[in-house]
A and B are shown apart, each in its own frame.
Chain A
């Protein structure tokens, strides 16, 4: 701003000087007309000042055409100013802005997954990402503790030892807790003759306390957001284990939850586990970014960025629909209508109502564990600041199908939901801190629903308020989404659709 101002003044000055010298010519040119001027020499400066005196006094003498010279120079002056402003505008318009040039192939190439599944028919994105999430959370929760040896078969030697964590956790400088993953997504898939590698990008946030943290020094904690890339490796030609095994993080040989020695010998079956022989292990991890979580961002409402972006429909959507029709023996158009109403719209309204009412217990069974954890965390954060985020008069404008993914264990359907509501955040005294309860905010989100393959319940008689397994009221699901009446774990999608992922439109990459 300062720069523009000084540049502007400098140019105006220059302009003034130019006008000044030009006036010489003009005065001569119109000298005959302005006979009133008593100064015959140096009339330019005089006529200029006389003109301006009438101008600045705002008297009507200006219109009395005391000097046509004044008029002409004034017009020239204004025109020149406009020209200069225009030039300045052109210069500043073309100022380079920060440009981010990224490899366009950097977004995950879905065809890699298709190729991958040809070798490993049991591979399931959902199961794998859950496995990553579990390992990630346990890595940080167990680091420096005895339990860390549970993870030995899953970590390479370099990942097992982190100098910074050794100092901070090992030497009891800090405690890391409340780890929440915001997103876990596939980043790359590649293979050599002998190995397969999957890269994953993980965005999480977590709390840090000084190790001598006590209730008295309770304020001393900071929350960080961090992005990491983890690379998983295994030998080529393996078949992925069943979801239950993937979720157990147990001994790949005997299946027991066991401690391992440093050389990787299982405490239970005495097998020395060779990494990558049966299961994925973390070969490398890179921290891309670590910043302080700015809670102020929660209540700073920026314009919706991606609302008008085109929907990133899967390029092979037609085949995906055909595959789904075949697997489920249904007619897609009929199925879609039911799915849209019974699942998408119902879930969307119920989950948002739960969010607005600060009570996720009623919808616990509708979401995956990871999503529940993340949302509980954000809700607690709002509560801590005594902020109430309300989504009033929520209306769904449209739901469009984006992608269907089928694998041995799961079927997932991703949709884009177009909705609008009065989105605002108020404090406990109902004072609005951010957003508006007068201006409707339109937005879109990508929602991914998952269900265990082969579940034969029809969506028609589905009721979001009851347990999909036993039909009892879904009021006793607890934190873990285990129905108190029948003991079934619901949030794995074993009995009905579970909301697995919410992605903001500007972040959705397909």
Chain B
């Protein structure tokens, strides 16, 4: 199984983007990030809840339990909760609401779009395909020209296809497949012109 961090995968991704841009006027930048936000409160919250739960159970059961056990079990539960949520990303994904995840992914995508200067193409066709791994979400930000060139329904289909890569066994592979599929759509609606100059670098590094 491929990983998003594999050098091999990244070369392949680069090639797919190059193909895309050869077929269409749309300028694509793909950015993959580990996460869109820190969710610092999630480990704390889980720890606090576990700890409170432990405490309550021990406190309210009628058996005579030693005070020290109650005290240390409560502390231990706190530590355990913290550890679980910090070490296992999927716990964070499960505990964070979908709305909040979507919001963070959107904020990050839009920030990257701005910071990366994707709105600086002269024909306003810059398009960011953003993949956030922790949240398992994809988000597309497209500049005005790209937004208008491709009908809204098509954008929605592309976005939902990209979101679905996380439901497959091999998400990196599926991402490549979906992007290749995009090529046909992009080509249909806004085919490449003769002298198609690539205005955006394909390997964009943006630090936020």
Whether A7 contacts B41 in the complex (CB less than 8 A), given A42-B67, A163-B123, A173-B190, comes out as: yes
* Number of chain A residues whose Cβ lies closer than 8 Å to a Cβ of chain B: 42
Instruction: Please name all residues of chain B whose beta carbon is closer than 8 Å to the beta carbon of A6 when the two chains form the complex.
Output: 41-42, 44-46, 48-49
Chain B positions within 8 Å of A12 at CB level: 52
**Which of B103-133 touch A at CB < 8 Å?**
122-125
> Taking the nearest CB of chain B, how far is it from the CB of A147, in angstroms?
21
Per the CB 8 Å criterion, the residue count for chain B at the interface is 44
Whether the pair A164, B145 counts as a contact (CB closer than 8 A) is yes
Question: Could you show 15 A-B contacts with beta carbons less than 8 Å apart?
Answer: A2-B96, A6-B45, A9-B49, A10-B44, A20-B71, A45-B67, A49-B64, A53-B60, A164-B125, A167-B123, A168-B149, A173-B25, A221-B151, A222-B152, A290-B147
Q: Which of B36-85 contact A (CB under 8 A)?
A: 41-42, 44-49, 51-52, 55-56, 59-62, 64-67, 70-71, 74, 78
Set of chain B residues within 8 Å of A17, measured between Cβ atoms? 55, 74
List the B side residues contacting A48 at CB < 8 Å. 59
Question: Closest approach, in angstroms, between the C-beta of B139 and any C-beta of chain A?
Answer: 15
Which positions 209-226 of chain A face chain B at CB distance < 8 Å? 210, 219-222, 224
Instruction: Tell me the complex Cα distance, A222–B70, Å.
Output: 63
Contacts of A49 in B (CB 8 A): 59-62, 64
| Chain A residue, CB-CB nearest to B152 | A222
In the complex, A72 Cα to B122 Cα: how many Å? 73
Q: Which residues of A contact B (CB under 8 A)?
A: 1-3, 5-7, 9-10, 12-13, 16-17, 20, 39, 42, 44-46, 48-50, 52-53, 56, 163-164, 166-168, 171, 173-174, 208, 210, 219-222, 224, 287, 290, 292
With A49-B60, A173-B189 as contacts: A13 and B122 at CB distance below 8 Å: no
Complex CA distance for A13 and B81, rounded to whole angstroms: 14
Q: Taking beta carbons and an 8 Å cutoff, which residues of B are in contact with A?
A: 25, 41-42, 44-49, 51-52, 55-56, 59-62, 64-67, 70-71, 74, 78, 95-97, 100, 122-125, 144-145, 147-149, 151-153, 189-190, 193
Give chain A nearest CB distance to B127 CB in angstroms.
Answer: 14
Alpha-carbon separation in the docked complex, A5 to B44 (Å): 11
Other-chain contact of A290, B52, B144, B193 (Cβ < 8 Å) = B144
Flag if A167 contacts B25 (CB, 8 Å). yes
> A45 vs B73: C-alpha distance in the bound complex, in angstroms?
15
Q: A7-B41, A13-B51, A42-B66 are in contact. List 11 more A-B contacts (CB 8 A).
A: A2-B45, A6-B41, A9-B48, A10-B48, A13-B52, A13-B55, A17-B74, A45-B70, A163-B124, A168-B145, A220-B153
